Amino acid sequence: MKAIGLPISAINLMGYFKAMVSVAFMGRLGRLELAGGALAVGFTNITGYSVLAGLAMGMEPICSQAFGSGNLPLAARTLRRTILMLLAASVPIAILWINLQAVMLAIHQDPDIARVAARYCRFALPDLAANSLLHPARIYLRSKGMPCPLMWCLFLAFALHVPLTAVLSSTLGVAGVAIATCITNFDTIIFLRAYVAFAGISDEPTYAPLPPSPTSAPSIKPMAEWASLLRLALPSCFGVCLEWWWYELMTMASGYLSKPRVTLATSAIVIQTTSLMYTLPVTLSASVSARIGNELGAGRPWKARAAAAAAMGLAVFGSCLGLLGTILGREAWGRVFTKDVEVLQLTKTVLPVIGLCELANCPQTTGCGVLRGSARPAVGATINLYSFYLVGAPVAAVLAFGLDLGFVGLCLGLLAAQAVCAISVVTVTCNTDWEREASKAVALAGKGEALLEGPIGMAQEEGGTLKEVLC
C-alpha cells in the first residue's frame, strides 16, 4: 500500500496546493473577490466537479479487480467508456454554469458576489473537459498500481501554475484565476500524453493473478459491461456528491448569515483547511481501494482483509495529527489567506471544531475506500445520505440559525455528521465477509469460474492500454 500511497499522497498535495494558490490570489484581490470566488468554487464543486469525480469512481472496482485477475481488455474498455460518460455529463453541467448569476440571484445571494462568481464560472468551462480525461486516467493508473507517471506530470504542471496564476490574476482578476486552473489541467494531460508516448507504461499487471481456473466464463456483452459500469458509477457519484455537497452547501449557507462577506471568506479558508487534511484520508482511501480490488480480483480475500486493517489503523493515527495541527496552527494559518481582522478571528474560532471533525473524517473516508474496492458504493452512499442530511443538516440549521451560533453552528453540524458517518462505515467494514466479496469479484471482473473453497484462480491476457486511449 505504501508503494501506491506515497505517489497518490504527492498527487493529492499538489492538487490541494493548486487550489490553495487560487484561493490565496483571490484573497489578495480583495474581500469581494475572495467571497465571490469562494461562492463560485462551491457552486462548481456542487454541480460539476463532484459529479465527474463520483461518476469516475464507478470504474475503480472494475479496473482494480480486472488488473488483479489479469483481465486487461476489460480495464481498457472501462477507461474508454468512463471518459465518454464524463464528457456526456459535462454538457448539462456547462449549461448550468453559464447561468450561474441568474441562479444565485434567484436564491437571494448578494448581487455583487454573484456577479464575481458568475465571471469565474464562465472562464472555468473548459475545465470540465480536462477533468473528464484526468479523473479516469488517474483511477486507471492507480488501479494498475502505477500512479507515478501522473505524479510527475502533475508536478511539472504545478510548477507552471504559480507564475501563471500570478500573471493572469493581476491582469484579469478572478477570471484569470479560473483560466490558470484550466490551463494547468490541460498541461497535465499534455505531459501525460508525452510521457506515455516516449517513456511508455508497462502492459504487465502489477499484481500477478493466480493460475487460471479450469472453466472459462463466457464473454460479457458490451451492454452488460455498460450496465455494470453504470450500476457502480451512479451510487459512487451519489455518495461522493452527498459529502461534497454538504461542504459546499455550508459555504452557500454562509451567505445567509450576518456579515456574509466575512463568513464566506472564512468558509473559503475552512474549505482549504479541510482539503489539506483530506489529503491523508483520501490517499488511504485510494490506496486501500486499489489494493483490495487487486487482491479480490486475484482471489486472495485474506490479503484484502489485511489491507483494510492496515489502512484503518493508519487512518486513526492520521486523524490525531489533523486535530493537533488545527489547534496549534490556528492563529498563523488564517494569515496565509487574508489580513482581514474579522475573518481571522472567526477562522481562529472554528478551526479546532474542524480538527475534531477530522477525528471522524479520516476513518470514514478510508472505510469508504474499502467499500469501493469491494464494489459496494451503494452502501457508502446510503451512509452518507443519513449521516449528512438526516443528522448533520438539521443539527447545523438549528445551531446556526435557530440558536444564532452562526458559522460555528454550521461547523458543529458537520461534526455531528462526520461522527455518525464514521461509526457506520467502521461497523460495516469490520463485518465484511471477505470470502463472499472475492466470489463476487469473479462475476464482476474475472475471466474464470471457481468455487470459493480456496484461492480463486484467474487468467492473464494482453489487452488495451492507456496509450491507446490517449492516442
* 386: enclosing H helix or E strand: none
Helix and strand totals (H; E) in the chain = 20, 2
Global pTM reads 0.79
Separation between Cα atoms, residue 415 and residue 213, nearest integer Å = 48
State the pLDDT at residue 463: 42
State the pLDDT at residue 201: 61
Separation between Cα atoms, residue 264 and residue 270, nearest integer Å = 10
State the pLDDT at residue 400: 87
DSSP 129-193: HHHHHHHHHHHHHHHTT--HHHHHHHHHHHHHHHHHHHHHHHHHTHHHHHHHHHHHHHHHHHHHH
On whether the CB atoms of residues 78 and 59 are closer than 8 A, the answer is yes
DSSP 234-280: HHHHHHHHHHHHHHHHHHHHHTTSSSHHHHHHHHHHHHHHHHHHHHH
- Length in residues, the chain: 471
Written in H, E and C, the secondary structure of 334-349 is HCCCCCCHHHHHHHHH
- Quick check: helix, strand or coil at residue 448? strand
Long-range contacts (CB closer than 8 Å, 24 or more residues apart) made by 331-334: 333/269, 333/273, 334/269
- Give the end-to-end CA distance of the chain in Å, rounded to a whole number: 30
State the pLDDT at residue 200: 61
Separation between Cα atoms, residue 296 and residue 143, nearest integer Å = 12
State the pLDDT at residue 450: 38
Separation between Cα atoms, residue 186 and residue 134, nearest integer Å = 9
Give pLDDT tens digits along the chain (471 positions).
788 888 888 888 888 788 878 878 887 887 788 778 878 887 888 888 889 999 999 899 898 888 888 888 888 889 999 999 999 999 999 999 998 888 888 877 778 888 888 889 999 999 999 999 999 999 999 888 888 888 999 999 999 999 999 999 888 888 899 999 999 999 999 999 888 887 766 554 444 444 443 333 444 577 888 888 888 999 988 888 888 778 767 877 887 887 777 887 788 788 778 877 888 888 899 899 989 988 888 888 899 999 999 999 999 888 888 888 888 887 788 777 777 788 888 888 888 888 888 888 889 899 989 999 888 888 988 998 999 999 998 999 899 888 888 888 888 999 999 999 999 999 999 898 888 888 888 878 765 443 333 433 333 333 445 655 555
R_g of the chain, CA atoms, integer Å:
22
The letter for the amino acid at 145 is G
Name the residue ranges covered by the structural domains of the chain: 2-201+239-470
C-alpha cell of residue 33: 473577490
State the pLDDT at residue 451: 34
The letter for the amino acid at 442 is V
State the pLDDT at residue 465: 56
